[in-house]
Amino acid sequence: MSASEAARWQAVIGLEVHAQLRTSTKIFCSCPTSFGAAPNTHVCPVCLGLPGALPVLNRAAVQLAVRTGLAVGCTIAPRSVFARKNYFYPDLPKGYQISQAELPVCLDGHLDLELPGATTDSPTLQRHARIQRIHLEEDAGKSIHGEGGAQTSAIDLNRAGTPLIEIVGHPDLRSADEAVAYLKELRAILLCLGVCDGNMEEGSLRCDANVSVHRPGEPLGTRCEIKNVNSFKSLRDAIAYEIDRQVGLLNDGQRVVQQTRLWSQERGRTEAMRSKEEAHDYRYFPDPDLPALVIDPGEVEILRLGLPELPAARRARLRAEQGVTAQAAAWLVEEPERLRAFQAGVQGGAGEPAAWATFLMTQAIAALTRSSRAFAEVTTAARELARICDKWRTGGLSNRMLNDVLTQGFAGEEPLFAALQTALTGVGEVVSDTAALEATVDQVLAGLGPQVEKYRSGQVQLFGFFVGQVMRVLDGKGDAQAVNAILRRRLG
């Protein structure tokens, strides 16, 4: 497809996001929600759907849903209703899922997405993405197919009845990047609220992407819903693929058929799963076993007062009060543990919070990635890391020494904070004594007569070569600024 053909089409995307709520018990019974127990041990007559068992709504799940709604600017419905969504699936023992249909608990919110500015470090606000609704529902169990090469399928119902919220967005997003930014912002909010653990690989946070294309000014096109998206990368790839597919069809004079499609990361494409004609008729009706959910406005106000500082405000404050770059602020706020590590370093005396934030995001994470340590150790070693950052920043460690300290520290057997202290002592001090540095520079230049000649006759790009030669003699421990200054003087 040529660029001009592509330009005639505008992509339109709306996401439906499911988040598992971090309650200790299930939504309609008191079975634990903890992950990883032996199959079918966290079950009872209610979540097994045995006849006569009665559901009782978990107050904590409602509070988490309301907190989420308030954080994204929703109205909280004073009265909402649970319905039965009827369909057969082996891991749905009741034959229906309890969900909210016409009357959900939260309505009409939005996310303001900050998309990176093209040329500046400051993010530009580019999309006001509306949220239609947030409703409460229960999760299904899990089917496990062909375990250990067996020709059978097994069912684990531990997850059946785990509380979920579904956050339904309006079709306000216009590109794969915007969809990723939307999901990232939503995830950051859920983590910041403690509503969900945000783990996409384990399925605690799941996303279906609705994609269509149309010509600007004309009605929206027919959409396809893409399932099985379990990372930011697959969300971006799946949407990009689907936009191309639909534009290709339309440019060929064909039409887009409304479908549910599955994303295959290995094959790099979406594949038809079912069409609209085969779509379920869920025959929703109010669950006669559950009274309407009535929420007292006073309780909503108490929950509103209890909201923490949200990611957007936190980013703005990191930039305004601590001079942190937009990129580092976005990175810090993505995961609460990063913010905790940052704060621990600031409290431990990091000289310049902005430099410490960038150091944490780049050098510290690079060293962590090369090691087998967990991020939690970065937090407990934040004071040592911040000290190392300061020492490097103020010229007390050369780049080479910094690299040695981090590599040795992260590779050590001891706890990270102790290993870093040992490595920092071991690396010694930077050579900044002027007389000693001058002697080394003179000795090095004396052996490089021809190159010095070339430099003086105009090949100034040789400067870096001289710095490298001097640093090599100094075992990488020379004060870089001092070495540069002396070389400049000597070379004239």
List C-alpha distances in Å: 193 to 59, 202, 322, 336: 17, 19, 23, 10
Q: Which does 220 bind (CB under 5 to 8 A by kind): ligand ADP, Zn ion, none?
A: ligand ADP
Q: Given the DSSP bridges, would you call strands 269-275 and 285-286 parallel, antiparallel or unpaired?
A: unpaired
Q: What is the DSSP letter of 478?
A: B
> Which long-range contacts does 297-301 make (Cβ < 8 Å, 24+ apart)?
297/78, 300/66, 300/70, 300/76
- CB of 247 vs Zn ion, minimal distance in Å: 47
Contacted entry of ligand ADP, Zn ion, none for residue 424, CB cut-off 5 to 8 Å set by kind: none
140 touching Zn ion, by CB under 5 A: no
Interface residues with ligand ADP (CB under 6 A) are: 12-16, 168-171, 210-212, 220-221, 223
- Name the minimum Å distance from CB 214 to ligand ADP: 8
Smallest distance from Zn ion to CB 158, Å: 9
Q: Which is nearer to Zn ion, 21 or 386 (CB)?
A: 21
Cβ of residue 28: shortest distance to Zn ion, in angstroms?
8
Residue pair 361/331 in contact (Cβ under 8 Å)? The answer is: yes
- Give me the helices (H) in 375-427, please: 375-380, 382-393, 399-411, 416-427
431 neighbors 448 (Cβ within 8 angstroms): no
With CB cut-offs between 5 and 8 Å by kind, which of Zn ion, ligand ADP, none does residue 387 bind? Answer: none
Least spacing, CB of residue 255 vs ligand ADP, in Å: 14
Amino acid at residue number 41: T
Measured in whole angstroms, the distance separating CA 140 from the mean position of its chain's CA atoms is: 25
Interface residue with Zn ion among 47, 176, 192, 235 (CB under 5 A) is 47
Nearer to ligand ADP, 35 or 284 (CB): 284
* Min dist. Cβ of residue 168 to ligand ADP (A): 5
Minimum distance from residue 31 beta carbon to Zn ion (Å): 3
Question: Least Å distance between CB 14 and ligand ADP?
Answer: 2
> Residue holding tokens 């004073």?
78
Residue 177: name its binding partner from ligand ADP, Zn ion, none (Cβ under 5 to 8 Å by kind): none
By C-beta, is 22 or 85 nearer to ligand ADP? Answer: 85
DSSP readout, 291-307?
--EE--HHHHHHHHHT-
160 binds Zn ion (CB under 5 A): no
| 29 vs 361 by CB, closer to Zn ion | 29
Contacts of residue 417, Cβ cutoff 8 Å, sequence gap at least 6: 377, 380, 381, 383, 384
* 480, 399 contact by CB (below 8 A): yes
Nearer to Zn ion, 44 or 56 (CB): 44
Distance from the Cα of residue 481 to its chain's centroid = 38
Q: Total residues at the site for Zn ion (CB under 5 A)?
A: 5
Residue 183's binding partner, choosing from Zn ion, ligand ADP, none, with beta-carbon cut-off 5 to 8 A by kind? none
Q: Kindly write out the interface string for residues 7-46 of this chain, putting x where it contacts Zn ion by CB under 5 A and - elsewhere.
A: ----------------------x-x------------x-x
Q: Which residue is nearest to ligand ADP (CB)?
A: 14
Residue 134 binds Zn ion, judged by CB under 5 A:
no
**Residue 168 binds: one of ligand ADP, Zn ion, none (C-beta under 5 to 8 A by kind):** ligand ADP
> Minimal CA–CA distance to 86: which of 287, 250, 365?
287
Secondary structure (3-state) at 106? strand
CA distances, 393 to each of 21, 396, 397, 416, 482 (Å): 43, 7, 8, 21, 14
14 binds, among Zn ion, ligand ADP, none (CB under 5 to 8 A by kind): ligand ADP
Binding site for Zn ion (CB under 5 A): 29, 31, 44, 46-47
